[in-house]
Chain A
Amino acid sequence: MHTSSMLKKEFLKKWIKGLQICYSSNKKMDLVERKNKIKLSADIAMASAKKPATCWSNALIFNAKENKQDKVLVSKILEPESQLQKSRDRIMSVNKRVECKKILKRSCNCGKRMKKKDLATLVVAKRLVKKRTKVLKKLVPGGGSIMNELSLIKEALDYILCLKVQVDVMRSVVTAAENTYIYRT
């Protein structure tokens, strides 16, 4: 597919940029720290390679910036997009405030009554769907601020596509690097 190969290239470029930054800045990193930096670079690279920006990609970048340790790395990977990113971050912080208000509002609301024939099965099915939707909300970055079920599924679709691309590229890079190393030793 056209867009997926472009996405792969963009992702690879940005991920490698992130790896270079990690590698050059601090040579004495322990295993866990290095792994976290690699993972973070990959996630940020994917989120910023995704054009046009989606809710999950904005949320991912915003949440990463909240962490002081990672802020520098994140901003370096995103380097030439500072203006666009600033406006996205502003939107994200507004969304978070709106989300808190909505959660407060929902907790004050009373439940509505349903008058249908197959109440039992419908209720069970609805409960299951609600339960699964909650889990999905937690998995997709920024899912908590998506109130509309429709948009949540759309975001999940997009997120899964990009995750697949990310995993594919990472897998090929890692296996190639491992094979090179094994071959030499």
Chain B
Amino acid sequence: MSSRRSRQSSSGASRISDDQIIQLISKLQQLLPGTRIQRSNKASASKVLHETCNYVKSLHREVDDLSDRLSQLLSTIDADSPEASIVRSLIM
């Protein structure tokens, strides 16, 4: 008897969090670039997670690339003083 009750309560708890997960996944979908057609829950969940991972990776790459460009810019203007002062006033 007690095992059945505990099984019920655990499945009840997982049902609630399943709904929440579905909600969050739909929110994630909205954030991602490009639109997707939602089919079934589990299938789109893994797809959305996959897209999310790709998106995070691409954002990381962009940060990397922008830091690269800025570092190159700052290094090239080290020598010249009028340009350095302008960029410095812009950045700092």
User: Which A residues are within 8 Å of any B CB, using their own CB?
Assistant: 16, 19-20, 23, 27, 29, 31, 34-36, 38-39, 42-43, 122, 125-126, 128-129, 131-133, 135-136, 139-140, 149-150, 153-154, 156-157, 159-161, 163-164, 166-167, 170-171, 173-174, 176-178, 180-181, 184-185
Contact = CB atoms under 8 A, between A and B. Distances in A.
Given A27-B78, A136-B49, A184-B82, A177 B70 contact: yes
Interface residues of B, number: 45
Interface of B: 17, 20-21, 24-25, 27-28, 31, 42-43, 45-46, 49-50, 52-53, 55-57, 59-60, 62-64, 66-78, 82-83, 86-88, 90-92
Contacts, number: 129
Contacts of A16: 91-92
**Secondary structure at chain B's binding surface: helix, strand, loop or mixed?**
helix
Contacts of B31: 157, 160-161
A133 B55 CA distance: 14
Contacts of B52: 132, 136, 156, 160
